[in-house]
Every structure is written in C-alpha cells, then in structure tokens.
Copies of this chain bind each other. A is one copy, B any other.
Amino acid sequence: MNGNPDLYLETIGKNAKEASVILMKTQTSLKNRVLQDAADALISRSSEILEANALDRDAARKSGMAEGLYDRLALTEERIRGMAEGLREIALLEDPIGSVSEMKKRPNGLIIGKMTVPLGVIGVIYEARPNVTSDVFGLCFKTGNAAVLKGGSDALQSNIAVTNIIRSVLEANGLPMDSLQLIEDTRRETTRAFMHLDRYIDLLIPRGGAGLIRTVVKESTIPVIETGTGNCHIYVDESADIGMAVNIIFNAKTQRIGVCNAAESLVVHEKIREKLLPALEEKLKTKNVELRADEPAREYLQDAKCAVPEDWGTEYLDYILSIKTVADIGEAIRHINRYNTGHSECIVTSDYANAQRFLREIDAAAVYVNASTRFTDGNEFGFGAEIGISTQKMHARGPMGLPALTSYKYIIYGEGQIRE
C-alpha cells in the first residue's frame, strides 16, 4: 500500500467516530444478534478464512518464521470454532452500557446518578494471532465502541478475511460496517501515525510482547492501557506449608511458560530454605527448570547457577526461575515492590498477619495468598472474556473485562433548580 498514511488514517478515524455515534445507542438485543450472526458466519465461511490463512502461512514459512510464532498464526477449523465460541460467550455477558448506579437525592431535590457509557473508539495493536481480531471486535462491540485494529503484517490476509466476514454481518444487521476496521497498510510509518490519531481514537491497547508494549507506551499520544508484562514472584514465608509451596511454585512456573502470569522468581525466607529448596529442586527437575539463585539459597541447592542482579528484573518466559533469599517479610515486600511489573504476586504462608500485610503492601494488579499466580485471567476471575491484563493503575487494573472498556456520565434529574 502506498500513499500518505495520515490521509488514509484520517478516513479510518472519521469513519470509526461516525460508527461510534450509532453504536453508542444500539440496543443490547441487536448487539447480541450481531455477535451470534458473526459467530455463525465465521463457521459457515471458514474456508475463506483458511484460504487466507494458508497465504499467510506460506509467506511465514518462506521467511523462516520461528515455530512458536508459526503455531500462533496457524488457523484450523477447530480454532475458528473457538473464535466463534468466543463471540457467543460475549453475547451471553451482561451489557454494562446504560446501567445507572449510585443514584441519590441531594438536599436541593436534584437526583444524581452515574450512567455507564462507551469510551467511543478503541484502537488495538497486536501481533500474529488472527483470533485476536474476532475477540477484540466482540468486546469492543458489546460495549458500544467502534474498533480500529492493527494486526501483525504476518497475519494480514487472515485478518482481512475475518474482518470482512464480520463487516458483512454488521451491514446485514443495519449497523455501520466501520464499527470494525482493520488497518491494512503494514508500513511502519502508518503504525506510528496510528499512535498519534488522538483526535479520533479514545483508547489504545497494545497486545503482544514487551517490545511492542514499550513502543506503544512511549510513542502514543492516545491514552494507552499497558498490558501484559509480568515479572511475577512467589514469596515463601517462614510458616509456609512446604507441600503447598512446592505445588504452587511448580504450577506457576511450569504449567505454561510463555504467559504473563507465570512465575519468574522465588523469594524465600531464610529459615525455610533448608526444608523447601531441596524438595522444590527435585520437583522442578522433572521439567528441567534452570535455577539462578543467590548464595544463601545455593547452599541448599544441588545444581543452581549464580544469580546476577539482572535476574531480579527479568521476565524469562522460559524454564528458568530466579531465587532470592530474604531475612523477613519486610525485605520480601521491598524486593518484590522494587522488581515486580505490577502484575501478579503471591505469598505462601500460614501466618495470618503476614498474609494480610502482604495483601496490603504489595503493589501489583493481583496479590495472592496461597494460590498460583496463573489465575490472573478474566475467565478465572469470572469476568468472561478479557481484552488484556492491565499492569497500570489508571482507569483499569488487572484482567480487563467489559467494564474496562466503558466510561460513565453523571445524569441529573431536576425540577427547575438553579444555583444560589
């Protein structure tokens, strides 16, 4: 694609804004019908998606894409059914838009409440997973927001196919096709210009690796919700149950290594090293987890490398665990608050006061007592689908379900009141 990216994006932005005005007032029943129809259409037109995906996969093979990335790019009938199922699940979720809360009567008789409203236009920049396209559409659409998507160039043909199918369903239901738009121009300068489209886009969400997220946070003039990076710790307190601690660490480290809520570091009370570390090492050996420990921990480990300071701040996303020894819970909290990325942190303890203190003082989106950090997830938290896991404090924190894509306005019922 050629031409001036600003002109191209100007049209996309304007169309999105116009669509958002219609979506803002679209009834829940119609939104749900569109979601169900889109699910049906993804399945009935799956051959179009698979053909487009084959083009992307061929190109990926030729360019020598890494196996993990290739696997995420590849679609099958089953994955398309999963995408459709995702849309049906969103249709079943409660529509937050238009609900009114905190209604109260003021002394002067004014009745004031808060009404939930859409944000307007949501932009999402993501990498080579075409299923994100339908997911993000579903979440934005259900909350009355127009969506402008910039997927990875590796998945362009797949994303075009999915987007076209959903757009035709929108049109068939009398809604603006531009409720969902895909930026098909894959040039870097276009992505950069997209991040500056603040006159049309109300919120920008990057979904992908740490590099993508950093770039978007740094470059964007649109408000961004930072998602995803997780340098998560398990702190094993002096009073912990050893079996529980080993199970939780093993689960949080190895159940799935490439995800943001996987544990990257063990913080261990010096008085429990002797009981915990040998049992833990044996268990982790079954998955060949590499240990990088400080000296006090290495005393009780057979086969641990020496941790260097960089280890404390590293999200490995791999079969590697760093181990830091502390003298007490205060040191554990300071260490974790210094190195964590605001994602998920856990204490394993049987001490009531330490559990409460950890919950209170750790600065992260999700703070656990005696459970695996792997639960930080919209579905596990009972929100249904999620658009990402926010690691920032403004607007939304933690797994972001539908309410994270909304704002509110105050509505005021009067009888002619004026201010004295």
Contacts and interface: CB of A to CB of B under 8 A. Distances in A.
Interface of A: 21, 24-25, 98, 104, 106, 110, 112, 115, 117, 119-120, 202-203, 218, 221, 223, 241, 244, 247-248, 250-252, 255, 337, 355, 359-372, 374-376, 380-382, 392-395, 397-399, 407-419
Given A375-B412, A394-B407, A398-B410, 19 more contacts: A112-B381, A117-B363, A119-B393, A202-B394, A218-B221, A223-B392, A241-B416, A247-B416, A248-B416, A362-B409, A364-B409, A366-B410, A368-B414, A369-B414, A370-B414, A374-B419, A376-B410, A394-B394, A395-B395
A247 B395 contact: no
Q: Which 9 A-B pairs have the closest CB atoms?
A: A371-B414, A251-B418, A393-B407, A374-B419, A244-B416, A370-B414, A395-B395, A371-B417, A366-B410
Contact of A363 (B24, B98, B412): B24
Contact of A371 (B110, B365, B398): B110
Q: Give how many copies assemble into the complex.
A: 2
A247 B414 CA distance: 13
11 contacts: A25-B360, A106-B381, A120-B393, A366-B411, A367-B410, A369-B412, A370-B413, A376-B410, A393-B407, A397-B407, A399-B410
A412 B398 CA distance: 12
- Most B CB contacts (10 A, CB to CB) among A248, A361, A380 go to A380
Nearest to A348: B416
A417 B255 CA distance: 13
Nearest to A398: B410
A27 to B, nearest CB: 11
A21 B418 CA distance: 44
- Most B CB contacts (10 A, CB to CB) among A247, A250, A255, A372 go to A372
A286 to B, nearest CB: 15
B382 A412 contact: no
A419 B255 CA distance: 8
Contact of A223 (B375, B394, B418): B394
A375 B218 CA distance: 38
Contacts of A417: 370-372, 375
Contacts of A21: 337
A25 B203 CA distance: 32
A412 B371 contact: yes
A360 B98 CA distance: 8
Contacts of A412: 366-369, 371, 375
